[in-house]
Structure 1
Amino acid sequence: MTLRILAASAALIGIGMMAGTTGRMAARDQAALASHPPSGEFVLVEGRRVHLQVAGEGPDLVLIHGANGNLREFTFAMMDQLSDRYRVIAVDRPGLGYSDALPEDEASVAAQAQVLRQAVAQVGAQNPVVLGQSYGGTVALAWALQAPPAALVLVSSPSLPWPGELDIWYRITASAVGRIAILPLASAFVSHSYVRRAIDGVFAPQHVPEGYADHLGIDLILRKSSMATNAMQINGLRPQVEKMQQDYPRLTLPIELVHGDADTIVPLHIHSKPLSQMIANAALTVLEGAGHMPHHTHPEAVIAAIDRAALRAGLR
């Protein structure tokens, strides 16, 4: 009888924890929608919504955000700095922000690029300059391998296989147990202060601009659907760049690479530096002492690279 009572008690506790986790996740989703609702418009690509925001006039410039992000990465400051001379189109990558996710077996960088190409075409972009930051740069490279845009600007972007393993979070969430058990708990109970510390690490050795985390939307990042999509995308990235690298030398469009030499998340010597030597039409700008987020910490260098790319493409 005692064992039965213990088993029943454990089951009740487990059910209570699951209910509490589900409730916290639902509350977080509601908080994200209330505090950071969609800021742009939606287009449909093969029945799935893609969220994008358009501002300005001039040559088309598409902005693709990195991991754990959304288009608010660029509406914080960069769109305002560019919309005086470009028609800027910031996009939520599939499964992040307010864009619908792709099926897990169809969520490659190539599939994301294809969806985004079709999405921006629906708002009139036919031959844009495409900027990708971090993971978004890999999506931009996949775009160029499919159907070259006018030019690429790659900011702190992974492009080649890296040695070693991903950090512990991604190793945990690569497993079925991690996806089923750990992701919901993290979505429900990770604090805003923890995320702010993580953002500090992404910006290091520079400081996070005041108001950045609030603008980006911490509750948007912590939604279970977003966390699951991000984990899946990062865990599946290295095999994709291993295959993509053999095709890089055939790229002939203008490519501007911007990378900080203090970037420890996507190291310069593993990614942009060797990539610049593989592609004849690539130009590399190395920012001394800069970390992973130069579009915020060194915006003048990134904007200059955009202008050079547009000029080289004959758009300016």
Structure 2
Amino acid sequence: MAKAAILIIISLAAICVAAGLGLAFWTARGVADIERRYPPAGSFAEIGGVRIHYVDQPATGTRLGPALPPVIFVHGASSNLSDATSVFAGRLEGKRRLVFLDRPGHGWSARGVENGPEPARQAAIVVGLMDRLGIDRAVVVGHSWGGAVVAALGTLYPDRAAGLVFVSPATHPWPGGVAWYYSLAAMPVIGPAFAATLPYPVMHDALGTAAATSFAPEAMPEAYPETARLALLLRPDEFVANARDVDGLNAAVIALAPRYAEITAPTVVITGDADSVVRPDIHSAGLIRDIEGAELVELAGVGHMPHQTHPEVVIQAIDRVTRRYLAAHPELWQGVPGEM
């Protein structure tokens, strides 16, 4: 009986190993296909020892464009720079200098050494990219998790922010935890093994369905999974990086949120009152409470993706914080506000 039990255990272990290897092979083939379909769209720069992928779109279409502060877009979790370029690159083309970047570990950016709270580290990388591109101050727009990066930048680097626009931000401590798969994938050893075997086989045909929950109660644009290049998330390294971002966010904002009152840049907070991903009553309301003079734009019946479904609201917010910044610095103004 003992020998039979041992044989059964060995057989089950062999089956598990074979299944794991099969799933890993399936994932590797799928990842290769994803990377062929969605190659890098921009340029690369070494920032603080991290290879960062970004798109730098110049202001060429108006006389005033080059005189206005550039706009930098910081994407949220489970995303990459295409989430913003798919909406704003065309709408703002030539009007302002626009910079879109893949956050560390996302899209085509390397992760780098995780040596502290990620929002602060990633804010430093944004500032480092600004230095590399010769940008003194910028209007910084952050969606969801990217809102924590924007808040960190406004707090820790106040002289680099011409204005801040938060879209469905995740910036404050919240009760409860995160989904189990984030915590699992964030674990050492087990997390990478999980990411290398299961997410691609389970999720590659369901990305659109999963993304649609973020848009609810509004409809997701049919082309969104393709234009936002969502499949990049299923690559194991990016899946782990994303999980670590999400799993570690609460601890990071617990430490930083008490300092948000130090933010002095003109600020607009945009949120949908039907957001089921992050709670507006905690995060957006918290920013309005903590940042003096911050303006709240609450959209009725809108979920977590107002930058996709109502991009004009974000563009108007960018213009408003720009006007407030230039009004406070008349020496920088080279035209008439009405010409913006």
- Does residue 88 in structure 1 map to residue 98 in structure 2? yes
After TM superposition, the score normalised by the length of structure 1 is 0.93
Residue 111 of structure 2 aligns to a residue whose secondary structure is coil
| Separation in structure 2 between the aligned mates of residue 32 and residue 210 of structure 1, nearest angstrom | 19
Residue equivalent to 1:290? 302
CA 1:4–1:245: 2 relative to 1, 3 Å: closer
**For 1:254-285, what per-residue CA distance to the aligned partner results, in whole angstroms no more than 9, with x for missing partners?**
01111111111112111112321221121111
Offset at residue 2 of structure 1 (A): 4.0
Residue equivalent to 1:273? 285
**For 1:91-150, what per-residue CA distance to the aligned partner results, in whole angstroms no more than 9, with x for missing partners?**
000010011102233461100110121123212222111000100011011111121211
Q: Percent identity?
A: 33
- Does residue 142 in structure 1 map to residue 152 in structure 2? yes
Residue equivalent to 2:11? 9
**For 1:7-60, what per-residue CA distance to the aligned partner results, in whole angstroms no more than 9, with x for missing partners?**
443343233223212212221221121000000000011332100001130331
| Separation in structure 2 between the aligned mates of residue 274 and residue 48 of structure 1, nearest angstrom | 32
| Separation in structure 2 between the aligned mates of residue 219 and residue 288 of structure 1, nearest angstrom | 30
- Does residue 30 in structure 1 map to residue 32 in structure 2? yes
Q: 2:117·2:252 contact (CA, 8 Å) conserved in 1? A: no
Residue equivalent to 2:107? 97
| Separation in structure 1 between the aligned mates of residue 286 and residue 6 of structure 2, nearest angstrom | 63
Residue equivalent to 1:184? 196
* Residue type at the aligned position of 1:243: A
**Alignment gaps of 5+ in structure 2:** 60-64, 327-332, 334-339
Residue equivalent to 2:260? 248
Alignment match of 2:141 (pick from 131, 135, 142): 131
- Does residue 160 in structure 1 map to residue 162 in structure 2? no
Offset at residue 239 of structure 1 (A): 1.4
* Residue type at the aligned position of 2:306: P
Offset at residue 248 of structure 1 (A): 1.1
Residue 78 of structure 2 aligns to a residue whose secondary structure is coil
Residue equivalent to 2:212? 200
Residue equivalent to 2:74? 64
| Separation in structure 1 between the aligned mates of residue 75 and residue 11 of structure 2, nearest angstrom | 46
| Separation in structure 2 between the aligned mates of residue 179 and residue 163 of structure 1, nearest angstrom | 24
Residue 104 of structure 1 aligns to a residue whose secondary structure is coil
Alignment match of 2:271 (pick from 238, 259, 274): 259
| Separation in structure 2 between the aligned mates of residue 22 and residue 185 of structure 1, nearest angstrom | 5
| Separation in structure 2 between the aligned mates of residue 107 and residue 260 of structure 1, nearest angstrom | 27
Farther-moved stretch of structure 1 (188-197 vs 198-207): 188-197
Runs of 4+ in 1 over 6 A off after TM superposition: none
CA 1:191–1:160: 2 relative to 1, 3 Å: closer
Residue 62 of structure 1 aligns to a residue whose secondary structure is strand
* Residue type at the aligned position of 2:132: Q
Farther-moved stretch of structure 1 (265-274 vs 149-158): 265-274
Offset at residue 191 of structure 1 (A): 3.1
Alignment of 1:44-55 (within 5 A): 44-55=46-57
* Residue type at the aligned position of 1:16: A
* Residue type at the aligned position of 1:21: L
Q: 1:107·1:233 contact (CA, 8 Å) conserved in 2? A: no
Larger Rg over CA atoms: 2
| Separation in structure 2 between the aligned mates of residue 180 and residue 54 of structure 1, nearest angstrom | 32
Q: 1:89·1:120 contact (CA, 8 Å) conserved in 2? A: no
| Separation in structure 2 between the aligned mates of residue 116 and residue 88 of structure 1, nearest angstrom | 13
**Alignment gaps of 5+ in structure 1:** none
Q: 2:20·2:197 contact (CA, 8 Å) conserved in 1? A: no
Offset at residue 181 of structure 1 (A): 4.6
Residue equivalent to 1:239? 251
| Separation in structure 1 between the aligned mates of residue 286 and residue 119 of structure 2, nearest angstrom | 20
Q: 1:67·1:134 contact (CA, 8 Å) conserved in 2? A: yes
After TM superposition, the score normalised by the length of structure 2 is 0.87
Farther-moved stretch of structure 1 (266-275 vs 200-209): 266-275
Offset at residue 218 of structure 1 (A): 3.4
